[in-house]
Structure 1
Amino acid sequence: MVTIYDIAKETGYSAPTISKALNGTGGLSVKTRDKILKAAEALGYKPNMAARSLTTKKSYLVGVIFEDADMQRGFEHPLFGGIMNTIRTEMENSGYDLIFLSRSLLAKKRSYLEHCLHRNVDAVMIINPLSVDEDLMELANSEIPCVSINYIIPGVPSVVTANVDAGYKAGKFLIEKGHKKIGYISGSFTQYNLAAKERLEGLRKAVDEAGLEFDESNIEYCAKWTRALGYEAMKKLHEKNPQLTAVFVANDNMAFGAMEYLESIKVKMPDEISIIGFDNEQASEFITPTLTTFKQNRLTIGKLSSEMLMNRLVGIPVHDCVRVQAELVERDSVKDLSK
């Protein structure tokens, strides 16, 4: 096995200088660092992570907690799959590997913290957990740096989409298109995961500013963010409020179900009812009519959360919560009634 001493012999530099070049530390010149790195590559040098961890007391592992009970999409979800790809790239570029954590270990029930300690992870990225319970709070209150995505966990810095602003944009867009009777189909929410509630808050704000009527009868709540429940919600909403001309749906998956119901009863879209979704799923640009929706910035969310986690690892202060803007993608599912 090639060691740093082999590289030192090849280049004429000392072992500490070689170590600095390989670890990206120290005040070396670009010329010196490049020469050492090229020699290391030519000799086939591969770092011994086990020995490195013994020296630095670091494992260079980042734990990932990812659950998806409400969406039921796993890595196929258009937001979380893309975020995970970005996080993996960012972590690898920083010299870290990812390992997924659960509440079991070696076929036995274990807490998240116990799993983290067993794997000796340096930090944890929390993505859409099942719930914020004692188990998760035990981890959040530990000395292991954590960052949360899509969830507001007490004491844990988080990165989330600017959902209130997106809901407001949806309402303004529909109102500018001449819609006055607007409904909303909501996904589930908790005090820690408020996306569906915040999107409704933004929609209400736009409707109130326009002086239009909006009450509870314009809303249907779904226990999960699924296509089947979107179908049922649209059925209930249409039966009690057939006068609605537009519906904002909290995600595309439920919007597909809503559109499926309207198609089943021969309601023409967008001529009779316009639909706006959220997530910009790939299918949204291929269904009929193509779906107007919101695109969440997966790249920015992944990069920001990774940067925050790396900063926490070295003790640099970070914001409690960073909100990332979503982009409205206009397609054919909204009719312009203002003309």
Structure 2
Amino acid sequence: MVTIYDLAKETGFSAPTVSKALNGTGHLSAKTRDKILEVARKMGYEPNLSARTLSTKKSHLIGVVYDDPKMKRGFDHPLFSVILNRFREQVERAFYDIIFLSHHSTMTYTAHAAYRTVDGVAIINPELEHYDDFKNMASQGMPCVSTNDIIPGVCTLISKNEEIGYKATEYLIENGHKRIGYLSGPWLEYSRAAVEREEGYMRCLKDHGIGIDKDLVEECKYWHMDSGYEGFSRLYKRAPDITAVFVCADLLAMGVYKYAEQKNLSIPQQISIVSVDDDRVSSYLKPSLSTFRQDGEGIADMAAEMLMNQIAGVPVPPIVRFDASLMKRNSVFNLNGKNEEFL
């Protein structure tokens, strides 16, 4: 049976340092902790969970909040499913297990986290009506991270949404478009993605000397295809002269595709589209959808590290932003010149 003393000898670190790495305690660098955990895995170290719980007063359980009643994507969401799977892998490397936290009429998330004695909570895809509960949880000292929305007192890890909006709009401008619409997701206080992407869209238009026309902006009430269809219907009826639209999410963009098909609008010749998420079906749409791929794995890795740091008593930043990459496909028509793929 491999002991912490065997690991200490193999890694060159002291037994107390090895113990801190295995138990997620103490002020260790991520490099040191990762090295010790990697050696522990290779040597087949198996922790005595009962003894460890008694000695550290930790359950080695991480609570996960993952709700999806409005998007109705479950574990198939193009961003949050990646974050969840990668996050699970990372915390398991540190010998933690995850459990899903729930809420109902007699128990809040905070109460459930306390009942299950979790050491920390990852808020991956929450419902807005529970934000006061999450703020309360953090104020009581529970280590928390959020990978979707900005929650006061919670370390948040999200994409550079304003930059996404800017780059999407700039890509359309570079292809000769000037009448560019923005089809937004819900404008919400804590779920800032839609608002920040609009801010990037507006700033880019201004930087390129294109006037701001509020009639070219339309909010969708929900993050799903039907809402995208309805939202684009309102936008296009109000501004039928637009040649392109930046859509806040691929699910909404699929609604635009549906509307275009029903109204005999040609994509991209009559309406060009850039979106966000790189849903796994986006490359199979006809034409394939140009969209921004968010760094789900990077967000998950950092979320796990930030949560482990908090559990160990290490301070963490309030917010960390991540780049997204534009996947250029066939949904944007170049008004400046030749488009060989569409001839």
Question: Is TM (by shorter chain) over 0.5?
Answer: yes
> Which of 125, 137, 161 is equivalent to 2:122?
125
Shift in Å at residue 75 of structure 1?
1.1
Shift in Å at residue 46 of structure 1?
4.4
Larger-gyration structure (1/2): 1
User: Distance between the aligned counterparts of 2:18 and 2:173, measured in 1?
Assistant: 59
Counterpart for residue 162 of structure 1: 160
Counterpart for residue 134 of structure 1: 132
Counterpart for residue 312 of structure 1: 310
> Which of 244, 247, 266 is equivalent to 2:245?
247
User: Distance between the aligned counterparts of 1:174 and 1:40, measured in 2?
Assistant: 53
> Which stretch of structure 1 is more off in the superposition, 233-242 or 252-261?
233-242
Deviation readout 1:64-122 (Å, 9 max, x if unpaired) = 11122342212110000000111011101111110110114xxx620112111111100
Whether the 8 Å contact between 1:182 and 1:214 is mirrored in structure 2 is: no
Shift in Å at residue 232 of structure 1?
1.2
Listed as ranges, the gaps of 5+ residues in structure 1 are: 9-16, 27-32
Letter in 1 for 2:137: L
Q: Does 1:103 align with 2:103?
A: yes
Counterpart for residue 76 of structure 1: 76
Which aligned pairs between 1:5-154 and structure 2 lie closer than 5 A? 41=44, 46-104=46-104, 109-131=106-128, 132-154=130-152
May I ask how many residue pairs the two structures share in their alignment? 316
Counterpart for residue 267 of structure 2: 269
Whether the 8 Å contact between 2:187 and 2:219 is mirrored in structure 1 is: no
Distance of aligned partners of 1:20 and 1:208 in 2 relative to their CA distance in 1, 3 Å threshold: closer
Distance of aligned partners of 1:3 and 1:300 in 2 relative to their CA distance in 1, 3 Å threshold: closer
Whether the 8 Å contact between 1:290 and 1:332 is mirrored in structure 2 is: yes
Secondary structure of 1:109's partner? coil
User: Distance between the aligned counterparts of 2:276 and 2:83, measured in 1?
Assistant: 16
Q: Does 1:215 align with 2:213?
A: yes
RMSD (Å) for aligned C-alpha atoms: 2.7
User: Distance between the aligned counterparts of 1:220 and 1:249, measured in 2?
Assistant: 10
User: Distance between the aligned counterparts of 2:46 and 2:310, measured in 1?
Assistant: 28
Shift in Å at residue 316 of structure 1?
1.4
Shift in Å at residue 134 of structure 1?
2.9
Distance of aligned partners of 1:180 and 1:3 in 2 relative to their CA distance in 1, 3 Å threshold: closer
User: Distance between the aligned counterparts of 2:285 and 2:42, measured in 1?
Assistant: 55
Letter in 1 for 2:57: K
Report the identity percentage: 40
Q: Does 1:258 align with 2:256?
A: yes
Moved segments of 4+, more than 4 Å: 2-5, 17-26, 36-41
Shift in Å at residue 189 of structure 1?
2.9
Letter in 1 for 2:252: M
Whether the 8 Å contact between 1:4 and 1:18 is mirrored in structure 2 is: no
Distance of aligned partners of 1:24 and 1:275 in 2 relative to their CA distance in 1, 3 Å threshold: closer
Shift in Å at residue 244 of structure 1?
0.3
Whether the 8 Å contact between 1:61 and 1:98 is mirrored in structure 2 is: yes
Whether the 8 Å contact between 1:21 and 1:37 is mirrored in structure 2 is: no
Whether the 8 Å contact between 1:4 and 1:19 is mirrored in structure 2 is: no
Letter in 1 for 2:78: P
Distance of aligned partners of 1:155 and 1:176 in 2 relative to their CA distance in 1, 3 Å threshold: same
Which aligned pairs between 1:225-236 and structure 2 lie closer than 5 A? 225-236=223-234
TM-score normalised by the chain length of structure 2: 0.85
Secondary structure of 2:276's partner? coil
User: Distance between the aligned counterparts of 1:103 and 1:95, measured in 2?
Assistant: 26
Distance of aligned partners of 1:37 and 1:313 in 2 relative to their CA distance in 1, 3 Å threshold: closer
> Which stretch of structure 1 is more off in the superposition, 126-135 or 236-245?
126-135
User: Distance between the aligned counterparts of 2:153 and 2:19, measured in 1?
Assistant: 35
Deviation readout 1:202-229 (Å, 9 max, x if unpaired) = 0111111111123221011111011011
Distance of aligned partners of 1:78 and 1:37 in 2 relative to their CA distance in 1, 3 Å threshold: closer
User: Distance between the aligned counterparts of 1:21 and 1:213, measured in 2?
Assistant: 60
Whether the 8 Å contact between 2:2 and 2:43 is mirrored in structure 1 is: no
User: Distance between the aligned counterparts of 2:17 and 2:315, measured in 1?
Assistant: 26
Deviation readout 1:256-308 (Å, 9 max, x if unpaired) = 11111111111111111101111001111111111000000011100111111
Counterpart for residue 171 of structure 1: 169
> Which stretch of structure 1 is more off in the superposition, 260-269 or 48-57?
48-57
TM-score normalised by the chain length of structure 1: 0.86
